């Protein structure tokens, strides 16, 4: 049987505005991911909507939909 060709990932455009952070809510429900929240322009005290999905938190701005989500 012939060997299969090596898998080649698809080419992607470079991304300059992608920000990653890992944080967890504290006992009072605050999320201290300052660099990420600053990049999203979410100021201190900004209200967030939090859903639990498959063991992950999906944190988003309740007033907006789109690309400004944290998973």
Q: How far is residue 58's CA from residue 60's CA, in Å, rounded to a whole number?
A: 7
CA separation, residue 27 to residues 23, 32, 38, 41, 47 (Å): 13, 12, 22, 24, 17
18 located within any domain = no
9 located within any domain = no
58 located within any domain = yes
Residues contacting 34, CB < 8 A, separation 6+: none
3 located within any domain = no
Boundaries of domain holding 41: 34-70
Q: How far is residue 44's CA from residue 30's CA, in Å, rounded to a whole number?
A: 10
Res. 49: pLDDT tops 50: yes
44 located within any domain = yes
Write down the pLDDT at residue 53: 82
Write down the pLDDT at residue 11: 77
pLDDT average, residue stretch 29-56: 80
């Amino acid at each position: 049987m012939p060997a299969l060709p090596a898998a080649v990932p698809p080419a992607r455009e470079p991304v300059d505005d992608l920000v990653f952070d890992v944080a967890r809510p504290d006992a009072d429900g605050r999320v201290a991911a300052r660099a990420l929240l600053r990049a999203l322009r979410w100021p201190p005290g900004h209200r967030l909507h939090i859903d639990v999905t498959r063991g992950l938190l999906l944190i988003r701005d309740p007033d907006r939909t789109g690309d400004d989500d944290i998973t």
